[in-house]
Amino acid sequence: MFVDEIDVFVKGGDGGAGCVSFRREKFVPYGGPDGGDGGDGGSIWLEASAALTTLLDFHYKRHYHAERGTHGEGSNRHGASGSDLVLKVPLGTVVSDRDTGERLADLTTHGQRELAIRGAHGGRGNARFATSTNRAPRRADLGRRGPERWLHLELRLLADVGVIGFPNAGKSTLVSRLSAAKPKIADYPFTTLEPTLGIVRADGDRSFVIADLPGLIPGAAQGKGLGHQFLRHTERTRLLLHMLDLDPQSGRDPVDDLRAIDDELAGYSAELARRPQLIVANKADLPDAVENRARVERFCAENALALRVISAATGAGLTELVRAIAARLDTVPPLISAPESSPGDTSMSSPPASSAS
């Protein structure tokens, strides 16, 4: 099961209570207060991990509580602080506050940590309240209750190339031929219900990540079909591989399909509509696809669009396509930079060096 959006509850550890205690020692009649402070509660961190590809783990457990601090004791013994809790999430996870919608963090690099919730401070022991006029204070603070919040986690896949197109255009077949990924392939609409990632080796040391994205239909920008679930994942791809179906038996016009999908991209995001594209006409091996192929070639020539004609089923044109993708990626800059942290105790922020272990 592919889970790419979920709400989780996080609570920082409660602080330990301070202690009321007085020194008791033979021949020392006025030992004075020696109650220690309570320990601080543990914090909860989110850490990006390249080993994860889905938020499925959070589907089975949605409530997370950090360890509380222990109480202070006599002889000025302070309570131990609670251990921090680290929750691992896939690369490309966007974290926001569920109730306010405020974006808190964008975890895009392996090992990047962000603070989800900070633990509460422990209470002060009575030794803290001793003064020249109050030498025997019988007061100590209770530990503070740990803060809590609901977080919304949204996964946006990180890939160099996103394969888009109408259902049954051959996207899954292409990804299966170019990489070791094994997406489901069948002759019916919406065979692909979840994105699939594969790694493609171009030449020498060059490789790129390709994503087989669910099929798109008119109205997806308004949520029809897979709608925003599809379009959300296109935002993190550097290059869009726009697949067209040349098969006349599909009953669709490939040029109209090209325009329709571009309209959906523009309706979802103006920036996404400007994303570099490489047009790929598939199923050129079919003998009755000649007319559709000619129409697509004329349209792309008139609009200065880069076009590759292939057959994902037979493998024709795939070597040239991989080289063209690699060459195009060399000219496309990275999309994502590390986000700036928001201020505040309960905001997402980078951990201090001592918390990295």
Minimum mean pLDDT range among 35-49, 101-115, 193-207: 193-207
**Fold held by 1-156+336-357:** Spo0b-associated Gtp-binding Protein; Chain: A, (2.70.210)
Tell me the CA end-to-end span of the chain in Å, nearest whole number. 31
> Which comes out higher in pLDDT, residue 182 or 336?
182
For residue 179, is pLDDT > 50? Answer: yes
DSSP for 126-172 reads: GGGG--SS-SS----PPPPPPPEEEEEEEE---EEEEEE-STTSSHH
For residue 115, is pLDDT > 50? Answer: yes
Q: Which residues of 283-297 are buried (b: 16+ CB within 10 A; e: fewer)?
A: bbbbeebeebbeebe
HSE-CB at 314 with a 13 A cutoff on CA atoms is 10
pLDDT value at residue 13: 97
> Which comes out higher in pLDDT, residue 142 or 273?
142
Distance of CA 31 to the CA centre of its chain: 57
pLDDT value at residue 334: 72
For residue 351, is pLDDT > 50? Answer: no
> Which comes out higher in pLDDT, residue 208 or 206?
208
For residue 20, is pLDDT > 60? Answer: yes
Architecture of domain 159-329 in this structure = 3-Layer(aba) Sandwich (3.40)
Rounded to an integer, the average pLDDT of 138-162 is 90
| Helix or strand run (H / E) with residue 327 | helix 318-329
For residue 226, is pLDDT > 90? Answer: no
Query: Is residue 264 very low, low, confident or very high in pLDDT (cuts 50, 70, 90)?
Result: confident
Domain ranges of the chain: 1-156+336-357, 159-329
Whole-angstrom Cα distance, residue 168 to residue 73?
A: 69
